[in-house]
């Protein structure tokens, strides 16, 4: 019977990976055996919490509570014992084992939700905000210079990025989104920008020439780019560009 608890432990751990406010953003990094081990780790934490809740509910709480003259029966374990007996358990001890199995399995799944709540509380205590998505993303993307640069520029309203792509196309614009993570892809697979201008680099000299100015169009234009096509990224400084191109016709 204890061997069967492996399945609800692993499933609850996998569920915790999906709904936890921190692990959900790193789920795409958990592949192969590492995903099983991470699910087992979180599942064991959920099972430990479920075991503690089961003991509290079974041995420390009263059998009944009364709310506004209504009696509420808290004895879930005896009810499960009667159900397992009706299902054809061979003995009372076997009924009790099956009841504890279903009881702990249910509490293990409930504990996955409790770990999610505790995760939000820990992030609130750390960052003093309930909406801590930005802080979590910042920590996860910090290990990549490109991700960190794009994420930082997306938070600053008056900062623009210049992106050079593998086809020598160049875009200058405002980063508005790095996407949302999925089970297989991270939040850094695609980026969305509001382009300000675009151009290309000369094939031989690689000199930058802008030929499209989106500010001339009275409408909002959004552009989505694959991050793996970006060769380089840098904050765009208008004064520096104007100084370097002071002999030419600089258009904004």
In the listed set 129, 154, 173, which residue is the last one of a domain according to the structure? 129
Structural domains counted in the chain: 2
Residue 52 lies in a domain: yes
Q: Mean pLDDT over residues 89-106, rounded?
A: 72
Together in a domain, 84 and 110:
yes
Has residue 26 been placed in a domain?
yes
Per-residue pLDDT tens over the stretch 33-43: 777 888 888 88
* pLDDT (0 to 100) of residue 140: 74
Residue 187 lies in a domain: yes
pLDDT at residue 134, rounded to an integer: 75
71 pLDDT more than 50 = no
CA dist 61 → 48, 56, 111, 240 (Å): 19, 6, 18, 70
Of the chain, the end-to-end C-alpha distance in Å amounts to 72
Q: Is the pLDDT of residue 155 over 70?
A: yes
pLDDT, one tens digit per residue, over 198-231 is 888 887 777 778 888 887 777 778 888 888 888 8
Pairing of strands 230-235, 161-165: antiparallel
pLDDT for 17 equals 85
- Check residue 252 and give its pLDDT: 39
Q: Which residues contact 236 (CB under 8 A, 6 or more apart)?
A: 160, 161, 162, 172
Is the domain of 76 the same as that of 149? Answer: no
On whether both 109 and 179 belong to a single domain, the answer is no
Asked if residue 136 is part of any domain, the answer here is no
- 97's CB contacts (< 8 A; 6+ apart) are 1
Do 92 and 185 reside in the same domain of the chain?
Answer: no
Task: Count CB atoms within 10 A of the CB of residue 235.
Answer: 13
Task: Look up the domain containing 183 and give its range.
Answer: 142-244
Residue 61: its pLDDT value, please? 57
Q: How many CA atoms lie within 13 A of 237 on its CB side?
A: 7
Q: Is residue 234 part of a domain?
A: yes
Q: Do 64 and 148 belong to one domain?
A: no
Q: Is residue 22 part of a domain?
A: yes
The CATH number of whichever domain residue 168 belongs to comes to: 2.30.30.100
Tell whether 250 is covered by a domain. Answer: no
pLDDT at 78 over 70: no
Contact 215, 196 (CB under 8 A): yes
Q: pLDDT tier at 91 (50, 70, 90 boundaries)?
A: low
Together in a domain, 108 and 176: no
* DSSP result, 221-243: --EEEEGGGEEEEEE--HHHHHH
125 plus 11 within the same structural domain: yes
At which of 104, 129, 154 does a domain end? Answer: 129
203 with 237, same domain: the answer is yes
Q: Is the same domain home to 13 and 119? A: yes
- Banded model confidence at residue 69, pLDDT cuts 50, 70, 90: low
The residue among 19, 8, 12 whose CA lies nearest residue 183 is 19
Residues 163 and 216 grouped into a single domain: yes
- In a domain? residue 34: yes
Q: Is pLDDT at 72 greater than 50 in this prediction?
A: no
Q: What gap in Å lies between CA 160 and CA 148, rounded to an integer?
A: 14
**Would you state the pLDDT for residue 230?**
87
Whether residues 152 and 118 share a domain: the answer is no
Q: In terms of domains, do 61 and 83 share one?
A: yes
């Amino acid at each position: 019977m204890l061997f069967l608890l492996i399945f609800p432990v692993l499933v609850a751990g996998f569920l915790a990976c999906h709904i936890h406010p921190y692990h959900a953003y790193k789920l795409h990094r958990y592949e192969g055996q590492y995903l099983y081990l991470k699910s087992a780790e979180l599942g064991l934490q959920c099972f430990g919490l479920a075991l503690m809740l089961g003991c509290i509910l079974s041995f420390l709480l009263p059998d009944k509570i009364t709310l506004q003259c209504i009696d509420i029966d808290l004895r879930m374990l005896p009810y499960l014992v009667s159900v397992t007996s009706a299902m054809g358990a061979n003995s009372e001890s076997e009924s009790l084992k099956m009841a504890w199995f279903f009881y702990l399995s249910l509490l293990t799944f409930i504990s996955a939700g409790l770990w999610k709540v505790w995760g939000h509380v820990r992030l609130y205590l750390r960052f003093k905000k309930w909406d801590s998505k930005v802080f979590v993303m910042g920590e996860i993307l910090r290990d990549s210079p490109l991700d960190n640069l794009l994420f930082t520029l997306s938070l600053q309203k008056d900062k623009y990025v210049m992106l050079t792509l593998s086809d020598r196309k160049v875009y200058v614009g405002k980063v508005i989104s790095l996407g949302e993570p999925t089970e297989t892809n991270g939040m850094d697979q695609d980026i969305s920008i509001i382009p300000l201008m675009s151009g290309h680099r000369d094939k031989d000299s690689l000199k930058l020439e802008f030929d499209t100015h989106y500010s001339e169009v009275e409408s909002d234009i959004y552009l989505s780019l694959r991050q793996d096509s970006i060769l380089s990224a840098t904050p765009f400084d208008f004064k520096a560009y104007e100084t370097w191109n002071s002999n030419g016709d600089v258009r904004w």
